[in-house]
A and B are shown apart, each in its own frame.
Chain A
Amino acid sequence: MNSINDRSINIGEYIPAPDDDMLICRCEEITKGEIRRAVHDGMFTLTEIRRYLRTGMGLCQGQTCSKLVKSIVARELQVSPDKLEPATSRAPMRPIEMCILANERKEEA
Chain B
Amino acid sequence: MKHSADVIIVGGGIIGCAAAYYLAKRGVSVLVLEGSSYIGNGGSSRNGGGVRQSGRDPRELPLAMYGIQKLWSTLSEELEVDCEYHQDGNLRLGKTPEHLEILSGLADRARACGLDVKMISGDEVRTINPYLSREVIGASWCPTDGHANPLTTTLGYYKQARKMGVCFLTEQKVTKLKKIKGKLRQVITSTDVFEADTVIVAAGLDSRPILATVNIDIPMQSVMLEGLVTEAQAPMFNQMLGTAEADFYGHQTKHGSFVFGGTLGLEGFTKDNGTPISNSLAASSTCRGIIKYFPALKHAKIVRTWAGWMDLCADKVPVISPVEEVPGLIVACGFSGHGFGIAPAVGYNLAQLVTEGRTDVDLHELQYNRFHAKS
Q: B291–A99 contact, CB under 8 A?
A: yes
Q: Residue-by-residue, is B284-313 near A (CB-CB < 8 Å gives 1, otherwise 0)?
A: 100110110000011111111110000000
Stretch at the interface among B163-171, B211-219, B241-249, B353-361: B163-171
Q: Pick out which of these stretches binds chain B: A3-11, A65-73, A74-82.
A: A3-11
User: Are A48 and B155 in contact, with the CB atoms below 8 A?
Assistant: yes
Query: Which residues on the B side are within 8 Å of A51 (C-beta)?
Result: 40, 45, 151-152, 154-155
Closest Cβ neighbor of B167 among chain A residues: A8
Chain B residues contacting A7 (CB-CB under 8 Å) are: 39, 162, 167-170
B162 partner, pick from A42, A58, A99, A102, beta carbons under 8 A: A42
Residues on A with C-beta less than 8 A from B303 are 57-59, 61, 92, 95
In the bound complex, residues from chain B placing their C-beta under 8 Å from that of A54 are 255
Shortest beta-carbon distance from A1 to chain B in Å: 6
A45-63 to B contact mask, C-beta < 8 Å, 1/0: 1011001101001110100
Q: B283–A5 contact, CB under 8 A?
A: no
- Is B237 on the interface with A (CB-CB < 8 A)? no
* A96-B169 contact given A51-B40, A59-B231, CB 8 Å threshold: no
Whether A52 contacts B37 by the Cβ 8 Å rule is no
Number of interface residues of A (CB under 8 A): 35
A70 CA / B284 CA spacing, docked (Å) = 32
- Contact among A6, A58, A91, A104 with B278 in the assembled complex (CB-CB below 8 Å): A91
**Number of A-B residue pairs at CB separation under 8 A:** 123
Q: Within 8 Å CB of A96, what residues of B?
A: 301-302
Q: Out of B45, B151, B167, B287, which one reaches A98, CB within 8 Å?
A: B287
Contact indicator A47/B298 (Cβ below 8 Å) = no
Residue from B37, B278, B297 having most chain A Cβ neighbours under 10 A: B37
Contact B284 A104 (CB under 8 A): yes
**Chain B residues within 8 Å of A21, by CB:** none
Check B54 for interface membership: any CB of A closer than 8 A. no
Q: Which residues of B (143-171) have their CB < 8 Å from a CB of A? A: 151-152, 154-155, 158-159, 162-163, 167-171
Instruction: Give Cα A88 to B45, complex, Å.
Output: 13
CA distance A2 to B2 in the complex (A): 15
A45-B302 contact in complex given A5-B171, A98-B230, C-beta closer than 8 Å: no
B371 within 8 A of A: no
Q: Does A34 contact B (CB under 8 A)?
A: no
Contacts of B284 in A (CB 8 A): 101-104
Known contacts A8-B162, A91-B278, A92-B302, A45 near B38 by CB under 8 Å: yes
> Contacts A42-B159, A51-B151, A102-B291 hold; do A90 and B38 have CB atoms under 8 A apart?
no
Asked if A43 is at the interface of the complex by the 8 Å CB criterion, the answer is: yes
User: How distant is the Cα of A99 from the Cα of B290 in the complex, in angstroms?
Assistant: 10
B151 contacts across to A, CB distance below 8 A: 51-52
Query: Which B residues are CB-close (under 8 A) to A28?
Result: 255
- Asked whether, in the complex, the Cβ of B171 is within 8 Å of the Cβ of A1, the reply is yes
CB distance from A31 to the nearest CB of B (A): 15
Q: Roughly how many angstroms separate A54 CA and B230 CA in the complex, as a whole number? A: 14
Per-residue CB contact flags for chain B residues 315-329 toward chain A (1 = under 8 Å, else 0) read: 000000000000000
Is B191 in contact with chain A by the CB < 8 A criterion?
yes
A58 touches B231 (CB 8 A): yes
On A, residues with C-beta under 8 Å from B are: 1-2, 4-8, 28, 41-43, 45, 47-48, 51-52, 54, 57-59, 61, 85, 88, 90-92, 95-99, 101-104
Query: Can you list 19 A-B pairs with a CB-CB distance of less than 8 A?
Result: A6-B167, A6-B169, A7-B169, A28-B255, A41-B162, A42-B159, A43-B159, A45-B37, A48-B155, A51-B40, A52-B81, A57-B303, A59-B301, A91-B305, A92-B302, A92-B304, A97-B299, A97-B300, A98-B300
For the complex of A and B, list the 10 residue pairs with the smallest distance between their C-beta atoms, beginning with the closest: A95-B301, A7-B168, A51-B151, A102-B287, A99-B298, A102-B288, A101-B287, A98-B287, A5-B170, A42-B162
Other than the given A5-B37, A5-B169, A42-B39, 10 more pairs (CB < 8 A) read: A7-B162, A8-B162, A8-B168, A42-B163, A43-B159, A51-B151, A59-B231, A90-B304, A101-B302, A102-B291
